[in-house]
Amino acid sequence: MKGKIIGCVVSIIFLVGLGTILVVGVRNANKSDNPASSSPLSSSSKAVQAVCGPTDYKEACIQSLNSIANNQSATPKDYIQVAINATIDAIRESIEKSRNISKEAIDPFNKMALDDCREMLQFAIDELHEAFSNMSKDDKGHTINEREIELKNWLSATIAYQETCVDGIGKEDLKEKMAVNLVDASHLSSNVLAIVSEIIPILNSFGLETNVSIGRKLLHTPKNDNDEYPSWVSNSDRKLLRRINMNNPKPNVVVAQDGSGQFKTINAALKAYPKNLIGRYVIYVKAGIYNEQVLVTKDQVNIFMFGDGPRQTIVTGKLSVAGSGTTTYQSATFAVIGNGFVGKSMGFRNTAGPQGHQAVALRVQSDMSIFYNCRMDGYQDTLYTQAHRQFYRNCVVSGTVDFIFGDGSVVIQNTLIIVRKPMDGQQNTVTAQGKKDRRETTGIVIHNCRIVPEQLLFPLRFKINTFLGRPWKEFSTTVIMQSLLADFIQPAGWMPWAGTFALDTLYYAEFGNRGPGAVTSQRVRWKGYHVLTNKNDVVRFTVNPFIQGHMWIKNTGTPYLPGLKI
């Protein structure tokens, strides 16, 4: 009874107090370029207006919450759930409409791209269902505050998948039709992320949450040795994060080309993935060159795959956009979807060469995934950090154009980043981060790494321009800190994508770098570029706060710097 009374009080304050006071905030909230954002608000309840106040697409938000507008007992969680359901419906509608668009694609490439679209949109729906499920079935009394980081993680991935869909289409008229088809879904996805991002400070201002801010909550440490994880980690995630012996794990299966293991191919070992798995599925891949396109599917979670070394155990392929007519998404030699993947002592490469243009060696959308002592070799688009939280340690990544790209939340640490010789007329760009919505929790962080030229590029390193990155999307976010930058990095540091696109809205930062390429006196003067000197300004991009590494990396035995290098 006490819990119900408290819930009623919270709802009343939320509906009446929040609506009355924050309706002013609706009028003054940030306006987007979308015409709907500045149109008059409907006659919905003041609470709906207040919830939609921080969103960029207010009319779409208000319409999506109409079903709950007159529910006097609705809680903040109810509003988020209704918004999530409306987004799911919009994406389902986009999937159905995309089938008609597919009929207009007469060439194999765009047919493949539109097939990719439906796959990506289904992933987006799955992410939203995951968010909804974890709110609906939470029986431990967790607050929205405690769930915020997970919700943002899933919602950011939802936006990334929609962008992957549109980006993959080659024919401009089909791309435009698909983009128009996704407008409602895109706007509602952005709105849900805005609501989740802004509702916490709103509730805190009314005293409806604890006085512990989300920043401190993220850095929560266990109360004792038995309390291994933060309170908001679900039971399923606790199983996913089960501790393993990374140094000498006992494999469930062995892959060996000489027949000394149970399987001769990696894909065969993955097909043997057991149902109702508890703990890790450990795959040992013996030395050899495995010429196969590998996919770790969504239901193949909690896999630990290790080899005999990144130059001994190599997975190779040569699919590319220009060479084989494959979409960037489908060109990946090795792709990981299932959450909790750990890869160790393996090499992943795409040998299409610079003439193949987009040719991915490794594509990752696995949440809480780790690659330790691995190599990713290619040219353009080598490492596709597509979505979710990822950590790379003691690796080697090589390439030319945009060779570390995507919209995941990524920290690359203690890694050798090798820039290769590109095609004639090309320039090198190390990163191309794809953050579309300003509230996404994504970005690429390069920490305590070395960025150097390969041997073939070395004599030409001052003739072929090399930049640290360029903004693929409007809110592209990349931070390079405490790393060594060789002398071939252009003095400007960064290059534009097209004209002035994203130069004011991106977030690029450098902190504490060293080497001749780290001199910042001639760097770009964009509004979104920053040279940071205060540790307090950059600590949020370190492993623990940025990807919550203290929660999941430690249990793999992977070494990592949780904060800045001292």
Q: What positions carry a catalytic annotation?
A: 402
Terminal-to-terminal C-alpha distance of the chain: 52
> 2 exposed, middle or buried (CB, 10 Å; 0-12, 13-18, 19+)?
exposed
Q: Work out the number of other CB atoms within 10 angstroms of the CB of residue 430.
A: 27
Cα separation, 15 vs 76, in Å, equals: 9
Q: Work out the number of other CB atoms within 10 angstroms of the CB of residue 304.
A: 23
- Residue 482 in tokens: 């405490």
Cα separation, 25 vs 49, in Å, equals: 9
- Residue 217 in tokens: 């909550």
- Contact present, 309 and 339 (Cβ < 8 Å): no
Alpha-carbon dihedral sign for residues 402, 404, 410, 413 = negative
Residue type at 370? I
- Residue 277 in tokens: 């798995």
β-strand partners of 485: 451
Number of residues assigned to the chain: 566
Which run of H or E residues covers position 369?
strand 369-372
- Residue 359 in tokens: 């040719």
Give every CB contact of residue 324 below 8 A, 6+ residues apart in sequence: 318, 331, 352, 356
